[in-house]
Structure 1
Amino acid sequence: MWVFRRFNHTHFPQISEFRLLPQYKLKCGLEIHTQLDTRNKLFSMSTNDPFHSANNPNLHTSFFDIALPGTQPLLNYEAVLFATKLAIALNCRVNLDSQFDRKHYFYGDQPLGYQITQHFSPFASQGHLPLYRDIDGIAEINKNIHVAQLQIEQDTGKSLYKKSEQITLIDLNRSGVPLIEMVTEPDFQDLGQIRAFIKKYQNLVRHLKISTGDLETGAIRVDVNLSINDHARVELKNLPNTSSILNAIKYEYLRQVRIIEDGMANKLLSQPETRGWTGSSTVKLRGKETTIDYRYMPDMELPRIKLASDVVETVRKTMPPSPDKVLNTLISEPYRLSLKDAKILCLNSNGQGEMYNHEELQQFYLDTFHSYAYRVKEGIRANNLSKLPTNWIIHELLGDLNKLELPLSKITKVLKPKIFADFLMLIHNNEISGASGKLLLFHVLKTLKETNCDACASIDFDSLIDEFDIRTINQIDDGELEEICQGIIESIKNEKLINDIASGKKKNSIKFLVGQGMKLSQGRIKAQDFEKSFKKVLDVKW
């Protein structure tokens, strides 16, 4: 931890040395713009597909998107539905009578000369999203991040600067894509809270199926409002991902601390400003605009959004349980999953390499668990009931699917939860060993991939076990097993190791002998039977 001292250019701390200093209080708020995954754009019937058409600029545009004179906007109510879902999930008060306003500014990628947004009467307000230490990894036991408002607005087009040709190209595929802008209160006091909130918000919009939630593609864009010791607020823009957001905050915090220490606070921090992130430092873009600069005015071409009094409750009843609620269910009885395993079933990272989404995986796990639990019935403690389903679905099955690049949705047409529960019962009843089970599962999945899941109407695990001769030998003559163990000991030709095991000097090394036995028997003889026999052969006293 570095000791604080008066800053100068020579001793200006690096981001890698970052620490929050108790005498300089960080206060942050976020503005998050979320592209809604609706079928059409916000005010036209153009296809909402700004990313997949990157190589075809201006493909998904209508007369209104390019601001052809005389064209008028027509509201897409699917965006209103998505906004309602997010407002409910964020515990907001939905405004049953909201309106659209015009925010005037002039950029080449904003052909109207103004953005249609909600300024005077936004769609929702007064919400909050709770963060928890055990779920989200923040330092506090819990913390509410308050949401000031949600507003529906249109996205701009995209500018492509070609420096070599000294021209700017405009792509309006993104123009008019529906956005929700969420503005939080300045409740963030450290980087851990910011990181946790962004991650939780991403998972929430994916869970609600209203956005892809990706920072990298621009489906979510985050601006940071930051101040120190209640000095003038600085807005940070052009932050493409979470690491950029955190590094920009670190740099700006240290920059402002240096200014305050140099006695320049009144001169340099008296006026709000907007700064950009270059990847290594923040740079001033412009002075912070005021409401007057934008000349807000109600949009005369769009009627107010008036919702019936019961619409919010109707939407609420159709929504899935929140990710936090599902998580708490999975770590409780009867599942008793670890938090790490429960998060795999609940959190959707939307990664391109994953062979599943969290919803289908979660449902496969729950269906398999209940089918397996019904078969087991008695004879196993409740806290061990989830051990096999967890290990074999979350670890073995997912590992094999990623290795084979095989989607879960494809194999479940044949390998249904009930059949997978049958497979787990073979291991539970010691009909096959865990090692044999791994080989058998991989073989089944590989076959499903090679046959495109069409050649197998069903999977007969019993027949496959007999075909590969991997059924566990539950009863073996003690003399025969001891003879096998003696042969393994003689083949090792390491007298010192054997003596150390026998004397108890290297007790754990007996696992090496057991492993050799399991390998020789192809997992058909149980490990505990081998261990017992090795101890007898070596006359182990410990």
Structure 2
Amino acid sequence: MLRLKSLIPLTIKRRISNGNPIEGFELTCGLEIHTQLNTTNKLFSRSVNNPFESISSPNVNTSYFDIALPGTQPILNYEAVLFALKLALSLNSTVNLSSQFDRKHYFYGDQPQGYQITQHYHPFSKGGYLRLSKEFDEIKELSKEIRITQLQIEQDTARSLYHQSSQQNSGEETLIDLNRSNVPLIELVTEPDFHDILQVKAFIKKYQNLVRQLKISTGDLEAGSIRIDVNVSVNEHPRVELKNLPNTSSIINAIKYEYERQVNVLKNNEQDSSTVVETRGWDGSKTTVLRSKESTMDYRYMADPELPPIALSSDVLSEVAKTLSKDADDCIRELMSNPYNLSKKDARIMTIQNDFNELYNNEELRVYYIDTFNAYKGSTEDNEISDPKIVVSWILHELLGNLKKLQIPLNQLSQNILSPKKLASFLNIVHGGVISNSNAKQLLFHILEEYKLGSCKEPKDIDFMILIKKYDLEVTKNIDYNTLEADCREIIETLNNPKMIESIKSGKKKNSIKYLVGLGMRKYQGKIQAQELETMFKKILNVK
């Protein structure tokens, strides 16, 4: 794809401000979000839905209907309807039990039919909201409700690719890749409820997490799975639509620039303080006019004669609602309270889906954690856990790291080798002092690696104690402290680093003692607990 260099001299490029509101000029924004659904097939054909097929293989995921061959007819993919229903219910939107498809007529190279199938007159759902909070979304207000105007199902267009023609003096040419044509989209339109850039940023992030949690989209802006247009106005004057916003930073910077541009227009035009209704693009440093009100297209909407209405029963809505997970904020609050007492950071990791991960989603992770926690708690003598961080630390820092390294899905792990109850029993062994933390981490990775390689004949029947004895990993119970002290002194002498030792003694770098403990663990091959080594080093160095 052609990458155009900016022709604007650096000296006249305007610096983007921090976006702080200017007294007397209120920012108002609304969003139009197009979300690609990751259904198996396209919206009105049986073509494979893979809009991100390599550019080197264009037009491979197409059917006769996708390329608008005369005489072909659309057949609705009801998986897209299910995905739309999940999103609508999650946003508290009122689902239209009889929604209708319409044709939006326009001619462009990326739309081979000459029209786009969308929902104009009778959209899939109307109303609803997404709630933001200061506690979890980093906005200024304690709580902010962003209202949803409507959701509609529609087909995506093809992709235009620009590059220099191979023929001499032919200039730039445009190629059309139809892999994306007829991919199912949900268009979400918000009310103009945004009056602060932080609100816009928080909404986008929360919406991305929602579609990932629902498993209906990858939610990636950079890859084009989500495309966002922003309507901006100041002091309720005519809005300006911003397009060509490839990522969150572009959206935020474009709003900042456009806000200040409109403020300057209003300040310098006091007699007729209005901006022109227009569509503007973002080139990375400023907004530029794409088309004005005079060039607004008449799309000649009409009901699609080849597609019947989508008829849903209220029973379908209630059954789908039962499958939806709890609100993300409620889940975070639950994990931060008794008995889990997680930090906000760990609770968010358990709940917020920052990317589309094929190995697990956050609902699976959260359920796995809670089940492991309860199993571990139930196995203790007093049905209490002295340190709640034990379970979350092992799952987030050890288990997930191993799963990513070995590419093992969490649900496969849970069903075949390490159920929550099984992991709880392993943690009991570790924190019962049978095996040191360092050796336990190595043993866990070894077990998972053997499972990945298919070496575990009966993975469900793994006995941790047998493996610990087999590999001679048990912690030494009868420690000869005289020998331990001599070995620790030898480690300090061999290290020959007076500067480090002095910094430990003086308290300037207390954590450096961890390095000494690591050397001791290596010498004893993890068969002495780290606490024993740390206590001995502190005794030798006279450190409290």
**Preserved CA contact (<8 Å) 1:207 1:323:** no
Q: Report the equivalent of 1:175.
A: 181
Correspondences of 1:239-250 after superposition (within 5 Å)? 239-250=245-256
Provide closer, same or farther for how the CA distance between residues 270 and 293 of structure 1 changes in structure 2, counting only shifts above 3 A: farther
Instruction: Indicate which of 387, 390, 395 corresponds to 2:392.
Output: 390
Do residues 209 (structure 1) and 215 (structure 2) align? yes
Q: Report the equivalent of 1:136.
A: 137
Q: Report the equivalent of 1:376.
A: 380
1:293 aligned counterpart, secondary structure: coil
After TM superposition, give the deviation of residue 424 of structure 1 in Å: 0.9
**Cα distance in 2 between the residues matched to 1:367 and 1:297:** 53
**Preserved CA contact (<8 Å) 2:262 2:275:** no
Q: Report the equivalent of 2:44.
A: 43
2:298 aligned counterpart, secondary structure: helix
Provide closer, same or farther for how the CA distance between residues 500 and 149 of structure 1 changes in structure 2, counting only shifts above 3 A: closer
Name the count of aligned residue pairs.
528
Provide closer, same or farther for how the CA distance between residues 71 and 263 of structure 1 changes in structure 2, counting only shifts above 3 A: same
Instruction: Give the aligned residue type for 2:398.
Output: E
Q: Report the equivalent of 1:364.
A: 368
After TM superposition, give the deviation of residue 455 of structure 1 in Å: 5.2
Instruction: Indicate which of 301, 306, 312 corresponds to 2:311.
Output: 306
**Cα distance in 2 between the residues matched to 1:262 and 1:241:** 32
Q: Report the equivalent of 2:340.
A: 335
Provide closer, same or farther for how the CA distance between residues 90 and 479 of structure 1 changes in structure 2, counting only shifts above 3 A: same
**Preserved CA contact (<8 Å) 2:14 2:285:** no
Instruction: Indicate which of 320, 326, 337 corresponds to 2:325.
Output: 320
Do residues 238 (structure 1) and 241 (structure 2) align? no
Provide closer, same or farther for how the CA distance between residues 288 and 100 of structure 1 changes in structure 2, counting only shifts above 3 A: farther
Q: Report the equivalent of 1:428.
A: 431
Task: Kindly provide the CA deviation profile for residues 317-359 of structure 1, in whole angstroms up to 9, marking residues without a partner as x.
Answer: 233333333333322332222222122222223357x854334
Q: Report the equivalent of 2:86.
A: 85
Which 10-residue stretch deviates more, 431-440 or 61-70? 61-70
After TM superposition, give the deviation of residue 231 of structure 1 in Å: 2.1
**Preserved CA contact (<8 Å) 1:13 1:254:** no
After TM superposition, give the deviation of residue 124 of structure 1 in Å: 1.0
**Cα distance in 1 between the residues matched to 2:174 and 2:513:** 71
After TM superposition, give the deviation of residue 118 of structure 1 in Å: 1.8
**Preserved CA contact (<8 Å) 1:34 1:213:** yes
Q: Report the equivalent of 1:414.
A: 417
After TM superposition, give the deviation of residue 84 of structure 1 in Å: 1.6
Gapped regions of structure 1 (runs ≥ 5) = 1-8
After TM superposition, give the deviation of residue 410 of structure 1 in Å: 5.5
Q: Report the equivalent of 2:300.
A: 295
**Preserved CA contact (<8 Å) 1:124 1:149:** yes
**Cα distance in 2 between the residues matched to 1:505 and 1:277:** 51
Task: Kindly provide the CA deviation profile for residues 465-510 of structure 1, in whole angstroms up to 9, marking residues without a partner as x.
Answer: 3344332234434544444455556656678987897898987776
**Preserved CA contact (<8 Å) 2:16 2:285:** no
Instruction: Give the aligned residue type for 2:20.
Output: R
**Cα distance in 2 between the residues matched to 1:264 and 1:389:** 64
**Cα distance in 1 between the residues matched to 2:233 and 2:242:** 11
1:15 aligned counterpart, secondary structure: coil
Task: Kindly provide the CA deviation profile for residues 210-247 of structure 1, in whole angstroms up to 9, marking residues without a partner as x.
Answer: 22222223221111111122222111111122122122
Q: Report the equivalent of 2:232.
A: 226
Measured on the aligned residues, the alpha-carbon RMSD in Å equals: 3.4
**Preserved CA contact (<8 Å) 1:448 1:456:** no
**Cα distance in 2 between the residues matched to 1:523 and 1:206:** 41
**Cα distance in 2 between the residues matched to 1:73 and 1:307:** 19
1:202 aligned counterpart, secondary structure: helix
**Cα distance in 1 between the residues matched to 2:349 and 2:509:** 38
Task: Kindly provide the CA deviation profile for residues 496-527 of structure 1, in whole angstroms up to 9, marking residues without a partner as x.
Answer: 98789789898777666655544443343344
**Preserved CA contact (<8 Å) 1:205 1:211:** yes
After TM superposition, give the deviation of residue 531 of structure 1 in Å: 5.0
Q: Report the equivalent of 1:525.
A: 528
After TM superposition, give the deviation of residue 390 of structure 1 in Å: 0.8
**Cα distance in 2 between the residues matched to 1:155 and 1:494:** 65
2:393 aligned counterpart, secondary structure: helix
Instruction: Indicate which of 183, 191, 204 corresponds to 1:185.
Output: 191
Identity in percent: 56
After TM superposition, give the deviation of residue 435 of structure 1 in Å: 2.5
Provide closer, same or farther for how the CA distance between residues 155 and 535 of structure 1 changes in structure 2, counting only shifts above 3 A: closer
Q: Report the equivalent of 1:3.
A: none
Q: Report the equivalent of 1:259.
A: 265
**Preserved CA contact (<8 Å) 1:117 1:154:** yes
**Preserved CA contact (<8 Å) 1:95 1:124:** yes
**Cα distance in 2 between the residues matched to 1:534 and 1:117:** 71
Q: Report the equivalent of 1:6.
A: none
Do residues 60 (structure 1) and 23 (structure 2) align? no
Which 10-residue stretch deviates more, 255-264 or 172-181? 255-264
Provide closer, same or farther for how the CA distance between residues 272 and 479 of structure 1 changes in structure 2, counting only shifts above 3 A: same
After TM superposition, give the deviation of residue 85 of structure 1 in Å: 1.4
Instruction: Give the aligned residue type for 1:390.
Output: V
Q: Report the equivalent of 2:102.
A: 101
**Cα distance in 1 between the residues matched to 2:497 and 2:182:** 75
Task: Kindly provide the CA deviation profile for residues 305-325 of structure 1, in whole angstroms up to 9, marking residues without a partner as x.
Answer: 333243322321233333333
**Preserved CA contact (<8 Å) 2:325 2:363:** no
